Structure 1
Amino acid sequence: MSLQWTLIASFLYLEIFVVLLLVLPIASPTRWQKFFKSRFLQSLRNQASIYFLILLAILVLFLLDAIREMKKYSSTEYSEHAHLDAEMQGNMRLFRAQRNFYISGFALFLSLVIRRLVTLISTQATLLAQSEAAMRQAQSATTTARSLLSQKGESAENDNNEAHDKIISELKSQISELTTKKSDIESELRKEKKDKEALKSQADSLAKEYDRLSEEHGKLLKASVGDSTDKKSD
C-alpha cells in the first residue's frame, strides 16, 4: 500500500473510532457541547468549514482515482497465450483499486456522518439546556403563583375576619341600643304604672269621699224632711 492510501486508511480508522465515541453513551450531550466549545476547537471553528471542504475534495479525488483504476484494470483483456504472472498482477492491481475505492468511499461517507453527528449532538445539548431553563422558569412561576395564592388566601381570610369583626361590632352596637331602648321603655312603663296606681288611688279616695258626701246628704235630707213633718203636725 502506498503512502497516500496508508494515510487515508489511517484516517478511516480514526473516523471509525470517532463515530464510536459519538454514538456510544460515553458522555452526555452537554459534555460534548462543552468539548466542542473549548478554546482549541473555537480557534479552529472559523476555518473548520474550509478544512472540511478541502478534506472532502481530497477524498473525492482519491475516490475518482480509485474508480478510474477499477475501470482500467477491469477492462483489461488477457490473451490465451498471456503469461500467468501478468494476469495475476492485473488481478492484484484490480483488487488494490477496489480496496482503495472502498477505503476512500467509506472515509468520505464517515466524514459526512461525523459532521452530522456533531451538529445533532450540539442541537440536542442546546435543546436540553433550553428545556432545563424552561423547567426552572416553570418551577419559579409555580412557586410564585403558589405564594400569590397563599397571600391572596391570607388577605381574603383577613378581609373575612375584618368583615366578621365589623359585623360583630355592629351587632354589639345594635344590642346596646336595643338594651338602652328597653331600659327606657321599662322606666316609662314603671312611671306609667306608678301614675296609674296614683290615679287609681285618687279615684278610690274620690269614690269614698263621694260615698261619704252622699251619706251625709241623705242624712241631711232625712233630717230636713223630719223637721218639716213636725211643723205640719203642730
Structure 2
Amino acid sequence: MSLQWTLIATFLYAEIAVVLLLVLPVASPQRWQRLFKSRFLQSLGQQASMYFLVLLAILVLFLLDAIREIRKYSSPDIHDHAHPHLDAEMQGNMRLFRAQRNFYISGFALFLSLVIRRLVILISAQATLLAQSEASMKQAQSANAAARSYLQKSGESAENASNEVHDKNIKELKIQLKELESKKTELENELAKEKKDKLAVKSQADSLAKEYDRLNEEHSKLLTTGGDKKSD
C-alpha cells in the first residue's frame, strides 16, 4: 500500500474509533459539549469549516482516482490482451483489487467524515436541550416552591384574619351578654318592685276590707240600737 493510501486507511481507522466513542455511552452529552467547547477546539473551530471542506475535497479526489483505477483495470480490452500471459493477468487482477480496496477505503472515510460531523452537531444540540430542560426544571421547582410559600403565607394570613374575626365576635358576644345581664338585673329589680307594690296594695286592700267590715258592724249596731230606742 502506498503512503497516501496508508494515511487514508489510518484516517479511516481513526474515524471508526471516533464514531464508536461518540455512539457508545462512554460520556454524557454535557461532557462532549465541554470537550467541543474547549479552548483547543475553539481555536480550531474558527477554521474547522475550511479544514472540513479541504478534507472532503481530498477524499473525493482519492475516491474519483479509485473509481478511475477500477474502470481502468476492469476494462475488457485489458483482460483480452492479458489473457495469454498468466502473470500479466494476475498483476491486472491485483491492481483491480487494490483499486477496489482504495475505493472502499476512500468511500468509507468520506462517509464517516459526514457521519462524525452530523454526530457532533446532534450531540451538541442534545447537550443544549438537556441544559435548557434542567434550567426549565429548576425554574419550575423554584416557581413551585414560591407558589407553596405564597399559599402557606396566604393560609396563615387567612387563619390570622379568621382568628381576629373570631376574637372580635367573642368580644361582641361578651358585650351583648353583659348588656343582657344588665337588662336582666333591671327587669328583676322592676319585678321585685312590682311585687312589693302588689303586696302593699294587697295589704291596703285587706286593711280597707277590715275597716269596711268594722264600719259595717258598727253601722249594724247603730241601726239595732236606734230600733230599740224607738220601740221604747
Mapped partners of 1:2, 1:19: distance in 2: 26
Q: Match of 1:114? A: 116
Mapped partners of 1:157, 1:146: distance in 2: 16
CA 1:86/1:80 → structure 2, altered by over 3 Å: closer, same or farther? closer
CA 1:3/1:36 → structure 2, altered by over 3 Å: closer, same or farther? same
Secondary structure, aligned partner of 1:26: coil
Structure 1 residue runs of 5 or longer lacking an equivalent are: none
Q: Match of 2:20? A: 20
Mapped partners of 1:14, 1:157: distance in 2: 70
After alignment, is 104-113 or 218-227 more displaced? 218-227
CA 1:80/1:34 → structure 2, altered by over 3 Å: closer, same or farther? closer
1:3-39 deviations in whole A, cap 9, x for unaligned? 2111111111111111111112111110000000001
Secondary structure, aligned partner of 1:52: helix
Match of 2:163 among 141, 146, 161: 161
Mapped partners of 2:183, 2:229: distance in 1: 67
Matching of residues 127-142 of structure 1 within 5 Å: 127-142=129-144
Q: Match of 2:34? A: 34
Mapped partners of 2:229, 2:82: distance in 1: 208
Mapped partners of 1:204, 1:85: distance in 2: 170
Contact 1:66–1:97 (CA under 8 A) maintained in structure 2? yes
1:118-165 deviations in whole A, cap 9, x for unaligned? 111111111111111111112112211221222222222222222222
Q: Does 1:97 align with 2:99?
A: yes
Mapped partners of 1:25, 1:226: distance in 2: 153
After alignment, is 33-42 or 164-173 more displaced? 164-173
Contact 2:83–2:89 (CA under 8 A) maintained in structure 1? no
Contact 1:78–1:87 (CA under 8 A) maintained in structure 2? no
Q: CA RMSD in A?
A: 1.5
Q: By how many angstroms is 1:220 displaced?
A: 1.9
Q: By how many angstroms is 1:80 displaced?
A: 7.0
1:56-102 deviations in whole A, cap 9, x for unaligned? 11101110010001000100233377422222221111111111101
Amino acid at match of 2:121: T
Q: Match of 1:46? A: 46
Q: Match of 2:187? A: 185
After alignment, is 201-210 or 212-221 more displaced? 212-221
Q: Match of 2:201? A: 199
After alignment, is 163-172 or 192-201 more displaced? 163-172
Mapped partners of 1:208, 1:190: distance in 2: 27
Secondary structure, aligned partner of 2:81: coil
Mapped partners of 2:83, 2:166: distance in 1: 122
Secondary structure, aligned partner of 2:25: coil
* Number of aligned residue pairs: 230
Identity of aligned residues (%): 75
Q: Match of 1:88? A: 90
Structure 2 residue runs of 5 or longer lacking an equivalent are: none
Amino acid at match of 1:35: L
Match of 1:213 among 174, 196, 215: 215
Q: Match of 2:71? A: 71
4+ runs of 1 displaced by more than 4 Å? none
Please report the TM-score for the alignment, with normalisation by the length of structure 1. 0.93
